[in-house]
Structure 1
């Protein structure tokens, strides 16, 4: 072993004579184009290139759709989605929705991009403008007269009878997807639904009768999500309230203070008063917890307790206010009411006839399928509708009209009999026994 170690030392290269010492030579053959080829372009450049191709009418439709697909993949990253506003890319993307030359497939992919950017992203939600919001609702309708005055009135009126090419199933489904990202936890956007000329709640109500069951499912799910209360609960009991005295911090490893027995100290004054000082038994109590009592030696006199003065030099233990950092969800953190859509939706359900439409959709379900061949109720839609009705009457404390209550009561009893009992009905609707009991008790 010694000889082997000696041989390895003698034949090793000293560190100070290593041929790799010194600065590495600069590679003159590497240029930005080659670096981009090896590492790829930054996401920001790729996003700009994709948008430029998507709005370029000289490109083929396939090239434009591929560019939108790549853009949708990039903005799945929330930072890239937020950069759409700073890079001024929202406007060209929105323009694809109203472009006369853009095909239906291009509009569908543009909706997909916008919906992905808006999902759980208040920062991107605030970047979307009102005119874009109105365009989304137009895509939900069967009306081909989006530019009514540019068309001959008779063909336009006749086209109301059939779904138009500009509102295909994929376009309506992607519009609901985009609306879901825009409306959820965004009360300012939900308020726009009630503005004159928008008729957003009516469009959502009508979407519950869409020929395609997939569009109906997405619509009822969106309405149920908007109805869920999101009020911040009361301050947790574990969170100290402001201005409430707190015990001093304890050091790790330090001996724990033990409660001391109350010791009465008496002192007799010249005026016949007896002074008694009683320290607090709890060591974590504040100085004001101690009591100084003055007792008159005369048994007939009353005892008067005077609280000890509070030490004004005691540091303030009140917690500092929450700091809201600038991020994607800062808008909801600064204003908690921004994410509360339940009250607005609760009012709209009755005002715009949505509640009647939901009840009718489960009590008397419309056929679905390409030719309306499916006359049975869709279980997925029914489950989502029951969740909305349960939230309405239990969590939101809404009330049914006598006719609504009677209709639902008969329907629930019929469903229970068909399912074979309450337990089977719970499994069918994905409700717990308590939830089903709460719902039926409200009928």
Structure 2
């Protein structure tokens, strides 16, 4: 039986039928079965004249109270950190599917403006941006996707992305020959979110793009098209 539910049941018995408390609580302490505990609690007959020895209910412990209120679970910050830990975990038993599920959960969490802003406080920008250069293309795709989500319509996170050096690797992903289309699309999405209404990011992206396409066939990479997409 769940510990918090056991505490809740004990508290209920103690404060509903005082005269049965010793037997009921003893039974609960010696069993993990809810049905057995409930049966034990009813073995003593309470009469109308039974003396009330405790008019003040015993305090309900914190775990039982959290069980009632539905709280006590991990915070969004805890979930964000845990997700990136799973993604970076190199244990062979930690499959790619597990990492992608963790990345999907992470992306949904940072859709919240507060959670996106909290990336800085939790020191999660560095581990997130490092995944832009991961050997696994799906992890690169998700990393770019999450960056785009984090900086969308958010000047604070746009500034952090520039400060953390996130623009150059995104430009590399978006323009690199041989990179998968799905990865490039998410990189362009991230760049578009990063530069929108934030001139420092636009200036840096323009500089990096010029470096990437220098000397290459403009038919392969049209800088004008890229910049229109990023606007």
Provide TM-score, normalisation by structure 2. Answer: 0.63
CA shift digits 1:195-250 (9 cap, x unpaired): 3x6526848x989867xxxxx9xx95962673xxxxxxxxxxxxxxxxxxxxxxxx
Give the one of 106, 116, 134 matched to 2:149: 116
CA shift digits 1:119-163 (9 cap, x unpaired): 0001001111363211111112243xxxxxxxxxxxxxxxxxxxx
Please give the alpha-carbon distance, in whole angstroms, between the structure 1 residues aligned to 2:57 and 2:219.
70
Please give the alpha-carbon distance, in whole angstroms, between the structure 1 residues aligned to 2:229 and 2:136.
32
1:54 is displaced (CA, Å) by: 1.1
SS at match of 1:57: coil
**Larger C-alpha radius of gyration, 1 or 2?**
1
Residues 271-290 of structure 1 aligned to structure 2 (within 5 Å): none
Q: Whose helix fraction is larger, Structure 1's or Structure 2's?
A: 2
Report what 2:205 is aligned to.
193
Do the aligned partners of 1:140 and 1:207 also contact (CA within 8 Å) in 2?
Answer: no
Provide TM-score, normalisation by structure 1. Answer: 0.35
Equivalent residues, number: 173
Please give the alpha-carbon distance, in whole angstroms, between the structure 1 residues aligned to 2:176 and 2:62.
61
Task: Show structure 1 runs of 5+ residues with no match.
Answer: 1-20, 144-163, 211-215, 227-443
Please give the alpha-carbon distance, in whole angstroms, between the structure 2 residues aligned to 1:134 and 1:177.
14
Give the one of 126, 136, 146 matched to 1:103: 136
Report what 2:196 is aligned to.
184
Q: Whose strand fraction is larger, Structure 1's or Structure 2's?
A: 1
Give the one of 80, 86, 96 matched to 2:115: 80
1:107 is displaced (CA, Å) by: 0.9
Report what 1:257 is aligned to.
none
CA shift digits 1:158-183 (9 cap, x unpaired): xxxxxx2xx10100100010001111
1:115 is displaced (CA, Å) by: 0.6
RMSD: 3.5
CA shift digits 1:62-115 (9 cap, x unpaired): 11111110000000000000000111000001111123xx41011111111111
1:51 is displaced (CA, Å) by: 1.0
Give the one of 73, 76, 82 matched to 1:43: 76
Task: Show structure 2 runs of 5+ residues with no match.
Answer: 1-54
Give the one of 168, 185, 206 matched to 1:173: 185
Please give the alpha-carbon distance, in whole angstroms, between the structure 1 residues aligned to 2:146 and 2:211.
22
Do the aligned partners of 2:171 and 2:205 also contact (CA within 8 Å) in 1?
Answer: no
